[in-house]
Structure 1
Amino acid sequence: MKKVLTAMLPLMALLSTFPAAVSAAAGGGGEQLDLTNHLVGFTALVVFIVAYGFVMAEEFTHLRKSKPVLLAAGIIWAMIAAVYAHHGLPHAAEQAVRHNILEYAELFLFLLVAMTYINAMDERLVFDALRAWLVRSGFSYRKLFWFTGVLAFFISPVADNLTTALLMCAVVLAVGRDNPRFVTIACINIVVAANAGGAFSPFGDITTLMVWQKGIVDFQTFFLLFVPSVVNWVIPAAVMHFAVPDEQPPASGEVVTMKRGAKRVIFLFLCTIATAVSFHNFLHLPPMVGMMTGLAYLKLFGYYLKKTFDQRAAYKRRKTDLNQLELGDVVPFDVFKNIARAEWDTLMFFYGVILCVGGLGLIGYLALTSEVMYVEWGATQANVMVGILSAIVDNIPVMFAVLTMQPDMSMGQWLLVTLTAGVGGSLLSIGSAAGVALMGQARGLYTFFSHLRWTPVIALGYAASILVHFWVNDSQFSIPPLLP
């Protein structure tokens, strides 16, 4: 490793000798180098594109998506820091990267708590109980198609769209594994519904969460996107309905009993959301402070479950074999196991993406992009394109780039970009975490090309949701955002 670092020093020194123009950083009072025509800028762009190529190819390479972006972030910021140090600005890059890390820390802590609660509900068998109920309900394929879509749409605003999609897909596979046609269409419907449902809630998608935490749109304003989100899902679903087999699947008698405290964990999660919203709206604190406070609710409840856990007493009370005891009387609750089961690869991926995009922003590429998209094209065309890009590239770096550019737009336009970034990923199976996950869960049944066949119908819903947003939220296009 020492030899590698030694070998890199001449390269870093060479890069730092290229000329760069110095300009005042916007609103910061510090100095920012324009590196857009600099070798470091070109190299950083190539590094990011290559790294994101590996992210998009994760399904085929099985290389976790966090690895390439973590490496890319380190390389990009090392090159930037070397150039700034050469120009006598040794602390400018440090201050910039600290700003990006602060944004990541708020997102990280918020998501960590949300993931912990989801894992706690999963460990208490909340989702398994829901799945078992749906499987034994005796719905026809068409009823199940609509029921899983409705649940995906309304669960994803509270949970994340990935968890929601996986849960609904488990139901579809359990009921219709012998009917591949139904599984394929139902999975497409679930992806579209989960992404659409997440678009009108600050908790439904990472992009909406980022917009809310940035303070641009307040909590209740997001719900103005409810009707456009419904349109985005219902139109493709109505067309796909006629392709769903009109048959009755075999019923199942599976019954799953939730573990002790499951309902109280759900209640505490709702209390945690209320705390986060209250802290942000009334106390003007970052939402993650409320979420971390809510984590204390779960930890204290976990302590209560441990203290009241008595396997011997439970055995005497039930007078039966230990294997048949009420779940939760036998298995104690451990909150730290739920924290450990968080999607750490996803959390590390967010770190890499935020720092990569932040580095490209400091270089000057985001300012150029903002000039082209939001000045030359106009806000509407730019925001529609954001959704299309989200189908090819993950919506997280796209939305973070928009937030970093912070173009001068009305509230209606900020809601539009929130909508398009959230639902645009439904156009392709690789455009959202829900789609990628379901390709793995329903391997061979739900594929890239099976989704692609329905892309024109999904695009119709995408266009209709945008038009409906302009219609029902017309008054918002004259209102400035909360932050300039």
Structure 2
Amino acid sequence: MVDYLLIAVAVLALLSIVFEEITHINKAKTTLFFGCIAWMILFISRDVSQHAFINHQLEENLLEIAVLWLFLMSTMTFVAYLNAKGIIQLFVQRLFPENSSVVVIMFLIALFSLLLSAICDNVTATLVSLTLLQTFSISKKAKLRMAVLVVFSVNSGGVALITGDVTTLMIYLDGHVKISQLFLLLVPATVSVLFLATIFSIGLKGTVTTKPTIRNYETIDIFVALIFFTTILSTMLLNVAFGIPPVLTFLTGLSVMFLVGTFYRSDKQESKMLEYIRQIEYETLLFFLGILLLVGMLKEIGILRLVTEIYTQFNPTYSNYFAGIGSALLDNVPLTAALLKAEPILTATQWLGLTYAVGVGGSLLVIGSAAGIIAMSKMKEMTFLSYSRYIPALLAAYTLGYGITIYLASYML
């Protein structure tokens, strides 16, 4: 009976996100409230002898959240600084043509997000891509479509390398796929992204003009940009070579940024790097906190175990496809962990299919992936309902990518 109540709380949290435009209550506040209430109900409903175990599980959940918070904080501070100094706008001018059609920009932003997420984490790729997107003077309709495309592109690019997506890394470390096999996923990822970009470009007209950025940055700003780029590369290399968690590398990079800001003095004033932490949108972090508390609660009451049991009842090729869709409702990391713990017997083709599915399937709902949550928090045009209008197109692109994955892996492996 209590489990049904907890599921109802999770549903209420979802509804609070869906109807945010009607209630005008910030989704960060509602999800945080329902997330905390869910765990309190869990404590109250269980026997005293189970409290120690539940507390241990809560602490583990909070530890995962804290790691993500710190990672987001360090990444967002870099982006906030570089954006304020105009470095990102300058980068846009170098990367994108000064005058181009909205359709061309659509494809360029899709490929940029795809490639960036393949070499660094999804969070960084999303933040940088959205910041680039916000530098364009385009209609709200075009901007929303591009933002949805960024979410799908980031999740698609992340599946092809172990540095791009946590679930890909988990499946790789469990010994089910090889790096050479993962490279195959770049093909379905690219095709599906271009397919979605084609759909989204229908009906869009007009041109985009990149306004020249006045050179008002200092030498230290270039240093910070280099520190950011070096941190991204170091995160990838150190994680692969020594297993160093990405959050530790990014915090190290952030500390270097702060130290440079402390010792650098311009002719006018000292650069106060630490002040840029205040520019971080903490609503994004609170929204993450609420969502992950709810997912952790669902994990504790056995919802993930139920999903795993259903998964093993059917042909893995079909189960993998629907597991990807399920990852849009449940966080793909605990879902993947539950599936790996069940130790299903899959072929190399099916393991690649699962890797693609759990990595990209979360794109179907805006709350289904870290990229979607960040996009919804940072772009006022994107809400649960506005994103949901594109579910048919997203589902078609996901299905196309999954189908190509199975066909290509069956033929090549």
Letter in 1 for 2:320: N
Residue 232 of structure 2 is matched in structure 1 by 273
Whole-Å Cα distance in 2 between the matches of residues 379 and 123 of structure 1? 48
Residue 440 of structure 1 is matched in structure 2 by 380
Whole-Å Cα distance in 2 between the matches of residues 274 and 101 of structure 1? 28
Aligned-residue offset at 1:466: 1.0
* Unaligned residue ranges in structure 1 (runs of 5+): 1-38, 312-329, 478-484
* Unaligned residue ranges in structure 2 (runs of 5+): none
Q: CA RMSD of the aligned region, Å?
A: 3.9
Whole-Å Cα distance in 2 between the matches of residues 428 and 366 of structure 1? 18
Aligned-residue offset at 1:299: 1.5
What secondary structure is seen at the aligned counterpart in 2 of 1:377?
Answer: coil
Q: Is the CA contact 2:100–2:208 (under 8 Å) kept in the aligned structure 1?
A: no
Aligned-residue offset at 1:377: 3.0
Aligned-residue offset at 1:121: 1.8
Residue 395 of structure 2 is matched in structure 1 by 459
Residue 17 of structure 1 is matched in structure 2 by none
Letter in 1 for 2:32: L
Q: Is the CA contact 2:113–2:154 (under 8 Å) kept in the aligned structure 1?
A: yes
What secondary structure is seen at the aligned counterpart in 1 of 2:380?
Answer: helix
Aligned-residue offset at 1:46: 0.9
TM-score (norm 2): 0.79
| Closer, same or farther: CA 383–334 of 1 in aligned 2, 3 Å | farther
Residue 123 of structure 1 is matched in structure 2 by 84
Aligned-residue offset at 1:84: 3.7
Residue 310 of structure 1 is matched in structure 2 by 267
Residue 150 of structure 1 is matched in structure 2 by 111
Measured against aligned partners, the alpha-carbon deviations of 1:306-331 in whole angstroms (never above 9, x if no partner) come to xx2222xxxxxxxxxxxxxxxxxx6x
Whole-Å Cα distance in 2 between the matches of residues 277 and 187 of structure 1? 25
| Closer, same or farther: CA 189–390 of 1 in aligned 2, 3 Å | same
Letter in 2 for 1:51: A
Measured against aligned partners, the alpha-carbon deviations of 1:387-428 in whole angstroms (never above 9, x if no partner) come to 43456x4x6x35434435544255765654453344345556
- Equivalent in 33, 37, 40 of residue 2 of structure 2: 40
Aligned-residue offset at 1:268: 1.2
Residue 14 of structure 1 is matched in structure 2 by none
What secondary structure is seen at the aligned counterpart in 2 of 1:310?
Answer: coil
Q: Is the CA contact 2:163–2:240 (under 8 Å) kept in the aligned structure 1?
A: no
Measured against aligned partners, the alpha-carbon deviations of 1:454-477 in whole angstroms (never above 9, x if no partner) come to 655543332221122224445999
Aligned-residue offset at 1:91: 1.3
- Equivalent in 96, 111, 114 of residue 75 of structure 2: 114
Residue 339 of structure 1 is matched in structure 2 by 277
| Closer, same or farther: CA 90–228 of 1 in aligned 2, 3 Å | same
| Closer, same or farther: CA 202–51 of 1 in aligned 2, 3 Å | farther
**Residue 96 of structure 1 pairs with residue 57 of structure 2:** yes
What percentage of aligned pairs have identical amino acids? Answer: 22
Measured against aligned partners, the alpha-carbon deviations of 1:63-86 in whole angstroms (never above 9, x if no partner) come to 332322322232222232234444
**Residue 286 of structure 1 pairs with residue 249 of structure 2:** no
Whole-Å Cα distance in 1 between the matches of residues 34 and 211 of structure 2? 51
Measured against aligned partners, the alpha-carbon deviations of 1:203-238 in whole angstroms (never above 9, x if no partner) come to 66xxx2466479658996765532221011112334
Measured against aligned partners, the alpha-carbon deviations of 1:311-352 in whole angstroms (never above 9, x if no partner) come to 2xxxxxxxxxxxxxxxxxx6x532222223334222223333
Residue 420 of structure 1 is matched in structure 2 by 357
Q: Is the CA contact 2:167–2:336 (under 8 Å) kept in the aligned structure 1?
A: no
Aligned-residue offset at 1:360: 2.4
**Residue 52 of structure 1 pairs with residue 14 of structure 2:** yes
| Closer, same or farther: CA 108–209 of 1 in aligned 2, 3 Å | farther
Whole-Å Cα distance in 2 between the matches of residues 243 and 401 of structure 1? 38
- Equivalent in 190, 196, 217 of residue 259 of structure 1: 217
Aligned-residue offset at 1:139: 2.1
Residue 312 of structure 2 is matched in structure 1 by 375
Q: Is the CA contact 1:112–1:339 (under 8 Å) kept in the aligned structure 2?
A: yes
Tell me how many residue pairs correspond in the alignment.
400
More off after superposition, 336-345 vs 291-300 = 336-345
Letter in 2 for 1:465: G
Whole-Å Cα distance in 2 between the matches of residues 129 and 405 of structure 1? 44
Whole-Å Cα distance in 1 between the matches of residues 145 and 57 of structure 2? 46
Letter in 1 for 2:267: D
Letter in 2 for 1:365: I
| Closer, same or farther: CA 216–300 of 1 in aligned 2, 3 Å | farther
